[in-house]
């Protein structure tokens, strides 16, 4: 348990001392959402209708952007080889990385989402549903992203391949994510989203550990 | 067998081992047996497969043929080896002590304390410095300190003296010597002469020339 905590602490320290990294993702998230009103025109009714989808797309793209940071720095400085030989099992290492990744790449987006909701003329009940759906759904995006990043970490330009690999996996998350905000049976969609998140988070550390430990250096 | 013996008697044994990268064999039909308290030095020109052999023994590259095993090892106790490669695995945004403390936590703090290990490798006063400010030789020393904070019987060292000054060479010799005295095994690939005080526990293996 101390090893797990040490891993988590290290990841958070590295991310927060990077400073700019976290802010970049938040800015990207807000900018993607903010340019949509300019592109579709100043129709408040239309904006309010498509706002949940825009928020989810922005969150998805911002989380893709942060994916390369998950394993590549450790791969490049040789830490990843050593983590394979650590006393802490590799799947636990990756679970710690996944939690840290969610805390620095998804939580700041959720904190910034009220700003985006304002820009997109979202009404208040929709906003609260969006907040819950982001909280419930982003762990699934982080988990699928971790698997994609683990599979591609040993490939030189893998950072570009990972998004292509995980986009199909993320489509259900987007469907149920926006569904839980707007669909008539939004409660059912929210339950599906929660199930998806729980399953992805439970399986991703093992899948990612398998991918990393079977890759040659 | 000395009184300081802390590791169970292990033997690293390989038979008919063929290692290579990308399907190309670099070492042919290696047979080796390294017993407790012994050090195997790998020598050979660039590209002769020293690193590949070490990566194979570390379980990172699959052998093309043959097999190897650490005999007498108990699978229950977790990983038995330290790999010290070309890259130092030092995070420049963490301080020196945080870097080492992290490895002590995830590998098990079974060896020296962090401060003691830093003193040992000559970084005692730099614990609070960001590791990004370390020179190449100092980063190397920090990587070597990682071997001290967690006790593991098998050391696989790839160019342990790279970027080190002459005092650093003595440090590496001293660390290996102490490790062997505890009943450990060391396999080191090096171009620099490493001379242990007791030549009887050293073996040298010369790997083939560049094809």
- Domain residue extents for chain A: 2-216
Confidence (pLDDT) at B1: 40
Instruction: Supply the range of the domain harboring residue B181.
Output: 11-206
Confidence (pLDDT) at B8: 82
d(CA A90, CA A97): 10
Smallest Cα distance from A4 to chain B, Å: 7
Confidence (pLDDT) at B206: 83
Share of chain B above pLDDT 90, in %: 27
Q: Which residues contact A140 (CB under 8 A, 6 or more apart)?
A: A170, A173, A193, A196, A197, A200, A201
Which tokens in the block code for residue B200?
């009887």
Q: In chain B, what residues touch A79 (CB-CB under 8 Å)?
A: 89, 91
Confidence (pLDDT) at A217: 62
Mean pLDDT along residues A157-175: 87
Confidence check: pLDDT of B46 > 90: no
Smallest Cα distance from A135 to chain B, Å: 30
Q: State the ipTM, two decimals.
A: 0.86
**B93 near A CB under 8 A:** yes
* Selected residue with higher pLDDT from B13 and B208: B13
The DSSP secondary structure of B33-88, one letter per residue, reads EE-TT-EEEEE-STTSSHHHHHHHHTTSS--SEEEEEEET--GGG---EEEE-SS-
**A17 near B CB under 8 A:** yes
Share of chain B above pLDDT 70, in %: 97
Q: How many residues does chain A have?
A: 217
Smallest Cα distance from B162 to chain A, Å: 16
Full-model pTM: 0.90
Mean pLDDT of chain A: 90
- Which ranges in B129-165 belong to alpha helices (H)? 136-149
* Selected residue with higher pLDDT from A155 and A93: A93
Q: Which residue of B has its CA nearest to A80?
A: B89
Please say whether the beta carbons of A188 and A133 come within 8 A: no
Smallest Cα distance from B199 to chain A, Å: 30
Mean pLDDT along residues B16-42: 85
Mean pLDDT along residues B20-39: 84
- Helix, strand, coil percentages in chain A from 3-state DSSP, rounded to 5: 85, 0, 15
**A77 near B CB under 8 A:** yes
Q: Confidence class of residue B209 from pLDDT cuts 50, 70 and 90?
A: low
Q: Do B87 and A10 touch (CB under 8 A)?
A: no
**A154 near B CB under 8 A:** no
| Of the candidate ranges A48-62, A189-203, B17-31, B115-129, the one whose mean pLDDT is the lowest | B17-31
Confidence check: pLDDT of B3 > 70: no
Confidence (pLDDT) at B148: 92
| DSSP type of residue B160 | T
Confidence (pLDDT) at B210: 47
Domain at B63, CATH number:
3.40.50.300
Confidence check: pLDDT of A209 > 90: yes
Q: In chain B, what residues touch A83 (CB-CB under 8 Å)?
A: 106
Q: In chain B, what residues touch A18 (CB-CB under 8 Å)?
A: 93
Q: In chain B, what residues touch A87 (CB-CB under 8 Å)?
A: 78-79, 106-108, 150
Confidence (pLDDT) at A139: 96
Confidence check: pLDDT of A188 > 60: yes
Smallest Cα distance from B153 to chain A, Å: 13
Cβ neighbour number for residue B21 with a 10 Å cutoff: 16
Cβ neighbour number for residue A147 with a 10 Å cutoff: 24
Q: Do A85 and B82 touch (CB under 8 A)?
A: yes
pLDDT digits (tens, 9 = 90+) for A58-98: 999 999 988 888 998 999 898 998 999 888 899 999 999 99
- Write phi, then psi, for A194 (nearest 5 degrees): -65, -40
Q: Confidence class of residue B2 from pLDDT cuts 50, 70 and 90?
A: very low
Mean pLDDT of chain B: 86
Q: Confidence class of residue B142 from pLDDT cuts 50, 70 and 90?
A: very high
E strands, chain A, are none
Q: Do B88 and A85 touch (CB under 8 A)?
A: no
Q: Do A216 and B62 touch (CB under 8 A)?
A: yes
Q: Which residue of B has its CA nearest to A73?
A: B91
Pick among A15, A21, A86 to test the B interface (most B CBs inside 10 A): A86
Confidence (pLDDT) at B162: 86
Q: Per the domain annotation, does B180 fall within a domain?
A: yes
Q: Tell me the C-alpha to C-alpha distance, in Å, between residue A203 and each of A102, A143, A163, A199.
A: 16, 8, 19, 6
Mean pLDDT along residues A3-32: 89
Q: In chain A, what residues touch B106 (CB-CB under 8 Å)?
A: 3, 6-7, 83, 86-88, 93
Q: In chain A, what residues touch B78 (CB-CB under 8 Å)?
A: 87
**A86 near B CB under 8 A:** yes
**A2 near B CB under 8 A:** yes
| Of the candidate ranges A22-31, A102-111, B197-206, the one whose mean pLDDT is the lowest | B197-206
Which H helix or E strand runs over B16? strand B11-21
Q: Confidence class of residue B4 from pLDDT cuts 50, 70 and 90?
A: low
* Selected residue with higher pLDDT from A83 and B192: A83
Q: Per the domain annotation, does B36 fall within a domain?
A: yes
Confidence (pLDDT) at B211: 47
Confidence (pLDDT) at A119: 87
Confidence (pLDDT) at A43: 85
Bridge partners for A69 per DSSP? none
Q: What is the number of structural domains in chain B?
A: 1
Q: What is the 3-state secondary structure (H, E, C) of A54-104?
A: HHHHHHHHHHHHCHHHCCHHHHHCCHHHHHHCCCCCHHHHHHHHHHHHHHH
Q: How many degrees, rounded to 5, is the angle at CA B44 between CA B42 and CA B49?
A: 75
Confidence check: pLDDT of B195 > 80: no
Smallest Cα distance from B93 to chain A, Å: 6
Confidence (pLDDT) at A103: 94
Please say whether the beta carbons of B18 and B70 come within 8 A: no
Which tokens in the block code for residue A69?
């940071």
Q: Which of B86, B90, B105 sits opposite A6 (nearest CB)?
A: B105
Confidence (pLDDT) at B26: 84
Q: Per the domain annotation, does B92 fall within a domain?
A: yes
Confidence (pLDDT) at B35: 86
Which H helix or E strand runs over B24? strand B24-34
Mean pLDDT along residues A146-150: 93
d(CA A74, CA A146): 14
Q: Which residue of A has its CA nearest to B110?
A: A87
């Amino acid at each position: 348990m101390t090893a797990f905590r040490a891993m988590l602490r290290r990841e958070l320290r590295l991310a927060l001392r990077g400073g700019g990294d976290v802010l970049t993702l938040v800015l990207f998230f807000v900018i993607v959402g903010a340019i949509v009103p300019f592109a579709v025109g100043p129709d408040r009714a239309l904006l309010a209708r498509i706002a949940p989808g825009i928020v989810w797309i922005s969150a998805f793209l911002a989380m893709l952007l942060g994916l390369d940071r998950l394993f590549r720095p450790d791969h490049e400085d040789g830490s990843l080889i050593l983590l394979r030989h650590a006393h802490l099992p590799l799947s636990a290492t990756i679970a710690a990385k996944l939690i840290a990744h969610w805390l620095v790449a998804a939580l700041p987006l959720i904190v910034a989402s009220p700003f985006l909701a304002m820009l997109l003329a979202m009404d208040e009940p929709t906003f609260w549903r969006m907040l819950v759906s982001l909280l419930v759904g982003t762990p699934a995006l982080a988990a699928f992203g971790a698997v994609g990043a683990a599979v591609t970490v040993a490939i030189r330009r893998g950072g570009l391949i990972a998004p292509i690999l995980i986009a199909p996996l993320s489509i259900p998350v987007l469907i149920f994510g926006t569904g839980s905000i707007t669909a008539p049976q939004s409660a059912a969609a929210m339950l599906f989203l929660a199930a998806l998140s729980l399953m992805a988070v439970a399986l991703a550390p093992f899948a990612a550990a398998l991918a990393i430990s079977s890759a040659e250096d | 067998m000395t009184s300081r013996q802390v590791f169970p008697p292990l033997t690293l044994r390989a038979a008919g081992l063929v290692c290579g990268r990308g399907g190309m064999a670099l070492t042919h039909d290696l047979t080796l047996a390294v017993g407790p308290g012994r050090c195997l030095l790998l020598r050979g020109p660039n590209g002769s497969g020293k690193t590949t052999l070490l990566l194979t023994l570390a379980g990172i590259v699959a052998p093309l043929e043959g097999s190897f095993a650490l005999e007498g090892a108990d699978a229950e106790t977790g990983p038995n080896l330290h790999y010290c490669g070309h890259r130092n695995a030092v995070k420049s945004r963490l301080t020196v002590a945080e870097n080492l403390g992290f490895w002590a936590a995830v590998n098990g703090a079974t060896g020296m304390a962090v401060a003691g290990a830093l003193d040992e490798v000559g970084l005692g006063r730099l614990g609070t410095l960001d590791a990004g400010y370390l020179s190449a030789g100092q980063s190397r020393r920090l990587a070597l300190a990682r071997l001290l904070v967690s006790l593991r019987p098998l050391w696989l060292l790839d160019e342990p003296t790279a970027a080190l000054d002459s005092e650093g060479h003595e440090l590496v010799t001293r660390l290996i010597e102490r490790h062997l005295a505890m009943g450990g095994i060391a396999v080191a690939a090096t171009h620099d002469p490493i001379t242990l005080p007791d030549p009887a526990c050293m073996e040298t293996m010369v790997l083939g020339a560049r094809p």
